[in-house]
Structure 1
């Protein structure tokens, strides 16, 4: 008897689908228990192509309730890896979109922006949840959210552009704009430039997906939230395996935290606000892999510690020491996800004197331990 056949239906034109597929394939290579269904050697992109298919399991970006019901009627186990439409009563794995919104708000607040806005999609659940997280964090910081009316079309700027341009004309500046994905973010940048607004000085922009193509197409390199797409795919494969073995699996979605904001020019707004603070930030970032006393930062900027601390706190909202710890933690996170280094080595390479100090600061800043963080993101 051959291996069970599983269909994987994800959008391979977008970085999200590619990352999810990578995670699924990694799980399959590790366990070697499935055969992936293809049609004439090509992947099946849309679940609707499976309505007459009789396989053993499906992982898909589901968006059509009819397709789900047809596949269910054949007793085929299903796992959804999309958060576009809510209300499907089936196991799902997707990004924690409320957390996505919170970290983008934090990104803008870190840069001292008073005015914050959001551009989304009508009827898309991930956009609704990203706005929820963004607005919650902005409310905590006593910042109102200026919301753009939902533009009417996905990719056609001739339809989306006028709505975004009118909104940008009326919105207060400087403005930090959170776009629900990288396509929307690229449209915001284009609209701002058409209006003669500078990016990021007048309009700072962050998208979601860290899609390399969208970043390259944007006239200004695009800051974007990187989602843990491979982890989403890997966990979806784990859940499908449970379903195929007859185990009960909750319909409550498995939420995967985002990796973080990948900062590029479109939101690098600090440089225009205070060059001395920008110089300090750059020095801290460049030295995130070694122990860094505050006095080294002060010496590098060439002004008094008192003056630097005041200017830094006013712009960034944190002390110099807090920013140093934050950069050390970001460096540690990357090493935890991307390497197999033991904790003492990670501590040394991320600027901590020892693993104990890494653990205490990491827990304080993230509410979890380095070991748990690594386990959360590295499921393979």
Structure 2
């Protein structure tokens, strides 16, 4: 078994199988097409070539990004990538599917890419949430926004994909990112290749590896509402999900009457304070169920429910099934 690098096909190689990311490299393409050994591709770049594949569930990556931004009350959205390819198209499709409509496309083929993107940014309604194909794309546009005097995340909230700490943690505004589960992808690709070497039939469809949630950072750490009372209330609630806070306590903390808070919340979000607080708690509980192994009791305590039975009752009403059944159905499973 050997891993073939994109630009260096091995000479006189004799192995048991090939694990590759088939990109636009003619020499690698010819090697793969002529190979008598089993091949597993971990890329979507050459879907015109029929091969067994283990790839990211890119539509779900787009949905995860959208859900994160929607939970921060964004209403205006945009997309950016340097290169349009099948991966980007799938991620954008999933993003728009979750949003419910098409979004502004900041991608440009002009020679002066930066100026073309800046011109588009200036025309967007703000606050606006930007989903970028990768952390590299997101880092570029985040720096452009800052250089042009836009505020992150108040004018533009930005989210990437890959959760690369060398990028995300060292930007002027640390970058939120969808956790593309590369470790699981590589593991399942190796397992599939081993099965093919052992003589098993290749799967007829690509094996999709789901993302592992979103790692939130400063680039999206803001609620997209212009009303200061509602904004302050949302921030207060988000920071205290694990506490049993009530409407009166929230109102006192931000310096307004309970009635004033309820009126503003109803006018801006069409929800009561209690309804919004419950949304925040349930969204956090749902993320913990999908992406951690925490017990129902721990999740209930961490999200402000008095006990696991209370969480189960409210969760089932919202999501249609009890928490542990939901976890079993949505958690990434071994293939």
Q: Is TM (by shorter chain) over 0.5?
A: yes
- 5+ unaligned residues in a row in structure 1: which ranges? 1-5, 10-44, 153-157
- 5+ unaligned residues in a row in structure 2: which ranges? none
SS of aligned partner of 1:166: helix
Partner of 2:278: 324
- Per the TM alignment, residue 363 of structure 1 is displaced from its structure 2 partner at its CA by 5.3
Correspondent of 1:110 among 43, 66, 71:
71
SS of aligned partner of 1:273: coil
- Judge conservation of contact 2:296–2:308 (CA < 8 Å) in 1: yes
Partner of 1:49: 9
- Judge conservation of contact 2:132–2:159 (CA < 8 Å) in 1: yes
- Judge conservation of contact 2:285–2:300 (CA < 8 Å) in 1: no
d(CA) in 2 for partners of 1:359, 1:51: 59
When normalised by structure 1's length, the TM-score is 0.72
Partner of 1:255: 208
1:334 has 2:288 as partner: yes
- Per the TM alignment, residue 85 of structure 1 is displaced from its structure 2 partner at its CA by 3.9
- Judge conservation of contact 2:281–2:304 (CA < 8 Å) in 1: no
d(CA) in 2 for partners of 1:234, 1:313: 48
d(CA) in 2 for partners of 1:349, 1:70: 53
Deviation larger for 346-355 or 247-256 = 346-355
- Per the TM alignment, residue 346 of structure 1 is displaced from its structure 2 partner at its CA by 4.1
d(CA) in 1 for partners of 2:264, 2:3: 52
1:227 has 2:227 as partner: no
- Per the TM alignment, residue 360 of structure 1 is displaced from its structure 2 partner at its CA by 5.1
Change (3 A) 1:74 1:186: closer
1:101 has 2:62 as partner: yes
SS of aligned partner of 1:190: helix
Structure with more contact order per residue of length (Cα contacts < 8 Å, sep ≥ 6): 1
Partner of 1:20: none
- Per the TM alignment, residue 217 of structure 1 is displaced from its structure 2 partner at its CA by 4.0
1:62 has 2:22 as partner: yes
1:145 has 2:100 as partner: no
d(CA) in 2 for partners of 1:323, 1:57: 53
When normalised by structure 2's length, the TM-score is 0.80
CA deviations on 1:313-363 (whole Å, 9 max, x unpaired) are 555676543443443543564366444x54444444444444454445555
Correspondent of 2:139 among 170, 186, 200:
186
Count of equivalent residues: 331
- Judge conservation of contact 2:74–2:128 (CA < 8 Å) in 1: yes
Written as runs of structure 1 = structure 2, the 5 A alignment for 1:155-234 is: 160-234=113-187
Written as runs of structure 1 = structure 2, the 5 A alignment for 1:286-365 is: 286-289=239-242, 293=246, 296-312=249-265, 319-320=272-273, 321-331=275-285, 333-334=287-288, 337-339=291-293, 341-359=294-312, 361-362=314-315
- CA RMSD after TM alignment: 3.5
d(CA) in 1 for partners of 2:73, 2:284: 20
Correspondent of 2:90 among 129, 154, 158:
129
Change (3 A) 1:245 1:105: same
1:77 has 2:52 as partner: no
- Judge conservation of contact 2:96–2:103 (CA < 8 Å) in 1: yes
- Judge conservation of contact 1:118–1:148 (CA < 8 Å) in 2: yes
- Judge conservation of contact 2:127–2:224 (CA < 8 Å) in 1: no
Partner of 2:2: 7
Change (3 A) 1:92 1:193: same
